[in-house]
Each structure stands twice: as structure tokens, then as C-alpha cells.
Amino acid sequence: MSDTSPHPVELEAPDIRPYQQGNTGIDYLHCLDGEEPGPHVMLSAVVHGNELCGAIVLDELLREGIRPRRGRLSLGFMNVAAYQRFDPRRPEASRFVDEDFNRVWDLTTLEGRRDSVELRRAREVWPWIDTVDSLLDIHSMQNRTPPLMLCGPTLKGRQLAQRVGFPAYTVADQGHAAGRRLRDYGDFGEPQSPRNALLVECGQHWERTSATVARQTTLRFLWETGIMDEAWFAGRLSAPPPPPRVIEITEAVTVVSRAFRFAEAFRGMEVIPRAGTPLARDGEREILTPYDDCVLIMPSRRLQPGQTAVRLGRFID
């Protein structure tokens, strides 16, 4: 994985060392109880160590002493080992230490014998995740692409994203062939379970606006959960945006060979008007748009075999 980036680092990574000792018995995981009964809501950040906007928002909330009125609010810094390696001179290099923390969330992997820095941390927070009713996982992206809310393949996920109402695009997808995301773990991905999760991609990793998007998404998510006093939101929420547009992913293109090359320098959210348009070549295989008005979601620069190169979707609204 390259450790260089064409994008300047406009954000400063907050020092999270003061949050190591929380009140849960798990390092860097804090839980705040309300006075009244309610759901257990969780905000998670730095699942990838070079994604700063979530750490900024959690740091702000903890410093101001946030407290829910109802239920419980957990704030978790996830892949701390990778985050602590972040260097603005080599900002791509700290995505993970051994493996992607957001590809290990299936029971076979969690209960298996494989070992890594990320798996050890996942197994540490795993029992706590099993108590969460509603999760917002805060991320950012490689390219300067409009922010996206990833709701997974279930109707309940799509409905939650629509109620949160921000950012402007909701992406309904199946995840990655390389492994299951935290957003899709366990009951979060079960259509009949009331437990639910969203993953927000707040914009380019180090762009200043990604922190603004992370703040507003977090506020609207907390509003939707109902755990905070309404007065707490005064002066914080921006004007209500239009309802998000929904993009349904029909295919995730997985890299097969080390010879994978895109046909153009795609950034994401391009709408390709005609079916059969060349998108990439993977060894001998040519990858074409499967239908008219095909939307490209999050084309990657990490073009390694087994990884997702791009997701193909269409607007369904």
C-alpha cells in the first residue's frame, strides 16, 4: 500500500491518550448512562487509523462532557494502534497495522486461530459491541467524493439512513468480498433484528470539511436515537437537508490480478451513461458497465487482489 497521497492534510489528529482508561474495562471505550431507560447507542471512530474526522468528533464530545438523558451512549476509539502511528508526512501508511480492522467482523474470524493487532483489538471490544442497539461508525474516503451513508443491504438500514437524513446520498450495499465490516456484524445485518448500524463516509480523509460532515451526521444520528435532550441540540444542527438520494449497489468489483488498471482516473460518483462502457481491465478480463447510468462508488487506489476496486450502483429514487 502506498504511503503517499495527492491530498493535503488539513486536519490535526487529536491526542486520544487521555481517553485510554475509560469506565468499561476496555481501553479507549467510554460508556455514559442516562437518567432514564433507553437504547444503547454507540459512536465508533478510527476503525482505520488514518481517518481523523471521527476521532475529532469523539474528542469534542468527551471534552464537553456529553451525557445522554435516556439509555446509554458509548464512544469508542477502535483501531488505536494504527491511529497512534498516524504521521501527516505519510498519511496513507497508518490505515492498519496488520490487516483491515473493518474486514474481520464475522464469527469464523473472531473465534478462529488467526492473530493480528487488529483481531486482538476486535476480540477485546467484541463483547461490548454485542450489547449495542444502534451504531454509527464514522469513516472517511481516499478521494474528494461527496459524503455517503452506507446502510447495508437491509430495509431497516435504509430506513434508518433516511430518518437520519444526512449526508445527501445513501448507499445500499453488501459490503466486501475480503471480509465483513463492523456495520454488518451479527444482528446489525439481520433483517428481523431491531439492532441496527450505519457507516458514514464523511469525505476525503484529511479534508477540513470531513470533520464538519462527521459532526452533523453524528448530531442527526443522536437526534434520531432519542437519547439526548432536545435542548442539547440548540445551535448545533444545521438546517434540515433534502431527503437523501438512494444508490443501490448491484456489484462490487473485486480485484483478481495484480494487473488491475482503471480505464480512467475515476474519483467516485461518476455516472456512466451507457451500458458496456469500459471501466477497467483486470488481467485478461475487461470490466464494463452493466447498465445505463451506472454510478461508480468509492473507486480505490489500493488495487490488491481480493480487495474491492469499485462498487457499481444505480439511483433507485
Q: What is the pLDDT of residue 2?
A: 44
Chain region(s) in the chain for CATH 3.40.630.10: 17-233
Q: pTM for this structure?
A: 0.94
In sequence order, the β-bridge partners of residue 41 are 73, 134
Task: Collect the ranges in the chain with pLDDT lower than 70.
Answer: 1-5
Coil, strand or helix at 9: coil
What CATH number is given for 248-315 in this structure? 2.40.50.630
Q: How far apart are the C-alpha atoms of 267 and 45, rounded to whole Å?
A: 24
Q: Kindly report the backbone phi and psi dihedral angles of residue 183, in degrees, each rounded to the nearest multiple of 5, phi listed first.
A: -60, -30
Do 68 and 227 touch, CB atoms closer than 8 A?
yes
How does strand 70-77 pair with strand 134-141? Answer: unpaired
In sequence order, the β-bridge partners of residue 137 are 44, 199
Chain region(s) in the chain for CATH 2.40.50.630: 248-315
CB atoms within 10 A of CB 1: 11
Coil, strand or helix at 86: coil
Q: What is the pLDDT of residue 1?
A: 40
The grid coordinates of residue 204 equal: 476525503
Q: How far apart are the C-alpha atoms of 21 and 40, rounded to whole Å?
A: 20
- What b/e readout covers 142-155, taking b as 16+ CB neighbours within 10 angstroms? bbebebbbbbbebe
Alpha carbon of 294 to those of 125, 237, 248: distances in Å?
38, 33, 10
Coil, strand or helix at 77: strand
CATH 3.40.50.970 at 17-233, yes or no: no
In sequence order, the β-bridge partners of residue 204 are 141
Query: Which of these, 73, 82, 74, 76, lies nearest to 119 by C-alpha position?
Result: 82
One-letter amino acid of 69: R
In which region does residue 85 sit, left (phi positive, over 0), alpha (psi from -120 to 50) or beta (all else)?
A: alpha
Q: What is the pLDDT of residue 163?
A: 97
CB atoms within 10 A of CB 111: 9
